Amino acid sequence: MKFPFLILIFSLVSLTVSADKPVKIFNELYRPQFHFTPEKNWHNDPNGLVFYKGEYHLFYQYNPFGNEWGYMHWGHAISTDLVHWEHLPIALFPDNDSKDKELCTAFSGCGLIDYNNLTGLQKGEEKTILLFYTSQKCGQRLAYSNDKGRTWLKYEKNPIIAFDETDDARDPKVFWHEASKQFVMVLYRKPNNDDKQKGVSFYTSQNLINWDLKSHLPGFFECPDLVELSVNRRADDKKWVLFDGDGSYVIGSFNSEKFVPDSPKMPGDFGANYYATQTWSNIPESDGRTIQIAWMKGGEFTGMPFNGQMTFPCELSLKKFTEGIKLVRKPIKEIELLHEKGEKWENENLIPGLNKNLIRGVKGDCLHIIGSFKIKSADSFGFVIRLDKKNNGTELMYNVKAKTLSCMGKSAVVEPVDATLKLEILLDRSSIEIFANEGKVVMSSCFSPLENANGLYLFNTGGEILVEKLEIYPLESIWEKEK
């Protein structure tokens, strides 16, 4: 299948859009076609996620000098639909004119809108966008924009929380706590350089400048996030979810000063490449979603001009199951904006040895697969993805007896519901994201398939399955000509 690979035009030095530069086509072998990547160089954690006047801002850890970690800046992109991204110039540079690989570089943080000008930094009609970030070994700092995020200034009285050499404090997440009418900062810390105390601290503020430490909760490491979600979408039943750097989470209660867990820490993703989750702030009430993205840590992009990619944005919710309340994560509905003409099957009974590959006509390296499978007498079933002419590919398999879903060397227990397993799969050129049973179990992994290996095979062994419904849509590229 063919994709309309459009063009992006950048300045090779500053990433500033420039019409007189040669065109750059985002069409390399392992270039994701609907997951975010920078044009070139290393990137990792998503930062500063904030919505303002129709634009979703995505900042990210970025090394403008090469494909390795270090010399952290904040790269910047915007989107009107969380799918198509426009690259903007670098937003944050290291502090104190640092040229060091780590000292005073711009580590992770968050974004917020200062609607009431509490900081006094607003100049003009636009509300001030605030970026809270860690200046590594130089304290927690603040930057701001008065022109919808196009240019950035550093707060002249930085740091807002001083560096402490006996601590490893970083990755602030700031949000408004409605019940207590104040702002909360969640900050990773290692007090007294004690590994046993690695965890998250909770601060409060009335003005976004002066912060008071309220409590500390050990047992967490890096990139915290804290969000309130409804259980089963009921407005009268809400819980707080505290995320760790690896995407694992704890459900509990929070009173603006202290988090009290109601659950053990649970894995947020069972795949090989998932880290540094963050959620967007300031999503309009009319939308109401909590939207999360993560860095696909550890992915390999051999021969590519860039190193790293983000997951596809997902909507979070809490759902009550027989074993307790769990986080559910599903791709945002905007994925449908990329759908090309697809194929559908319903009520197809598959018998091993008698059926040819039901989906043999499907080819492609970017697909959205949505299926519901009734387990009858099969021992296993699944897909072989990115199949080549020698029948080599990447296997995604469900073992019926063990109740395990496996892919890319990782596995997770998935309990069928009424003998049915639902799968939603996002396949891009260098990643597979699998959402089982409507997002109860998620597996996010990177991979490097062979060039021109675009086949897809649906198999079952040992007995029958019923394909209750299966939809497969080719996905078009998100990369359009930059404005």
Tokens in use for 22? Answer: 């040669």
**4 — pLDDT class (breaks 50, 70, 90):** very low
Mean pLDDT of 79-100: 97
- The pLDDT of residue 391: 85
Residue 358 C-alpha from the chain's centroid: 33
Q: Please compute, for residue 472, the number of CA atoms within 13 A of its CA located in the half-sphere on the CB side.
A: 22
- The pLDDT of residue 121: 98
Tokens in use for 396? Answer: 């995604």
In the predicted model, is pLDDT for residue 2 greater than 60? no
Q: Which amino acid, residue 369?
A: I
**11 — pLDDT class (breaks 50, 70, 90):** very low
pLDDT in tens, 426-461: 999 999 999 999 999 999 999 999 999 999 999 999
Phi, psi of 372 (to 5 degrees): -125, 125
Q: How many CB atoms lie within 10 A of CB 2?
A: 8
312: which DSSP letter?
P
- The pLDDT of residue 15: 37
What DSSP string describes 157-221?
Answer: T--SB---TT---EEEEEEEETTTTEEEEEEEE-GGG-GGG-EEEEEEESSSSS-EEEEEEES--
Distance CA 386, CA 266 (A): 31
In the predicted model, is pLDDT for residue 257 greater than 50? yes
Tokens in use for 172? Answer: 């602030």
Q: In degrees, to the nearest 5, what angle opens at C-alpha 351 toward C-alphas 348 and 355?
A: 75
pLDDT in tens, 261-306: 999 999 999 999 999 999 999 999 999 999 999 999 999 999 999 9
Weakest-pLDDT range from 86-90, 135-139, 318-322, 476-480: 476-480
Residue 72 C-alpha from the chain's centroid: 19
Mean pLDDT of 128-143: 98
Contact 190, 168 (CB under 8 A): yes
pLDDT in tens, 282-293: 999 999 999 999
pLDDT in tens, 192-214: 999 999 999 999 999 999 999 99
Q: What percent of the chain has pLDDT over 90?
A: 92
Torsional sign, CA 397, 398, 402, 407: positive
Q: What percent of the chain has pLDDT over 70?
A: 94
Distance CA 439, CA 426 (A): 12
- The pLDDT of residue 480: 72
Torsion of CA 67, 64, 314, 380, to 10 degrees: -10
Q: Using DSSP, state whether 96 is helix, strand or coil.
A: helix
Distance CA 73, CA 70 (A): 9
**356 — pLDDT class (breaks 50, 70, 90):** confident
Catalytic positions: 45
Closest CA to 309 of 132, 107, 448: 448
Pairing of strands 41-52, 306-307: parallel
Residue 267 C-alpha from the chain's centroid: 15
**22 — pLDDT class (breaks 50, 70, 90):** very low
Distance CA 337, CA 386 (A): 23
Distance CA 190, CA 206 (A): 25
**483 — pLDDT class (breaks 50, 70, 90):** very low
435: which DSSP letter?
E
Phi, psi of 67 (to 5 degrees): -95, 15
- The pLDDT of residue 481: 53
pLDDT in tens, 161-198: 999 999 999 999 999 999 999 999 999 999 999 999 99
**217 — pLDDT class (breaks 50, 70, 90):** very high
Domains detected in the chain: 31-333 (2.115.10.20), 339-474 (2.60.120.560)
